[in-house]
Homo-oligomer: A and B are copies of this chain.
Amino acid sequence: MTEKQENILSAALTLFAEQGFAATSTNKVAKAAGVSEGLIFRHFKNKEGLLAAIFEMVTERTKVILADVVMTNDPKEVIYKILELPFVINPRDYRMWRLIYAMKWQIQQYNTEKMEPVKLAAKNAFEKLGYDNPEAESELLLMLLDGAATAILLHEPRDKEAVLLAMKEKYKH
């Protein structure tokens, strides 16, 4: 991956996240990346290919981040770690996550499957902890995760610490 390729990917990520995929012209991407427009197509074939390349990159990153959760043994720790996820995202990765969350509404497949291992880990944890309906509980946990991430990415809630505390409180027994 040459430097210019990385520039393109980075610029595209930012712009797609800020303005949406369709509303971002390849011309804008090229200018933001400081390359000729043609180069985008030489490296990524398509505007869609560019998006795909970004998602590939994102998927790799996500795997690494989620690995820690999935490898944890203590069930309560699993749940806490999942809850903490949105609160420990590196702000430098915000634009990446904004893109993912925005694309969810346009392209079905991209997001659901990525969280599947997390959901399994959660379900497993709830089972160990003797919850009544682990399936429903894990579903709920992922909803909460999603909602928290959305809030953080979109409007940075005032007192994140307090919110996280309140969340954990719900799972303390």
Contact = CB atoms under 8 A, between A and B. Distances in A.
A64 interface: no
A144 B98 CA distance: 18
A: interface residue count bin: 35 or more
A105 B101 contact: yes
Interface centre among A135, A162, A166 (most CB of B within 10 A): A166
B133 A166 contact: yes
A137 interface: yes
A53 interface: no
Number of identical monomers bound together in the oligomeric complex: 4
A102 B150 CA distance: 12
Nearest to A169: B132
A143 interface: yes
Interface of A: 19-23, 98, 101-102, 104-106, 108, 112, 132-133, 135-137, 139-140, 142-148, 150-151, 154-155, 157-159, 162-163, 165-167, 170
B140 A143 contact: no
A140 B23 CA distance: 32
A23 to B, nearest CB: 4
A136 B163 CA distance: 5
Contact of A102 (B105, B154, B165): B105
B136 A143 contact: no
B150 A136 contact: no
Contacts of A143: 144, 147-148, 150-151, 163
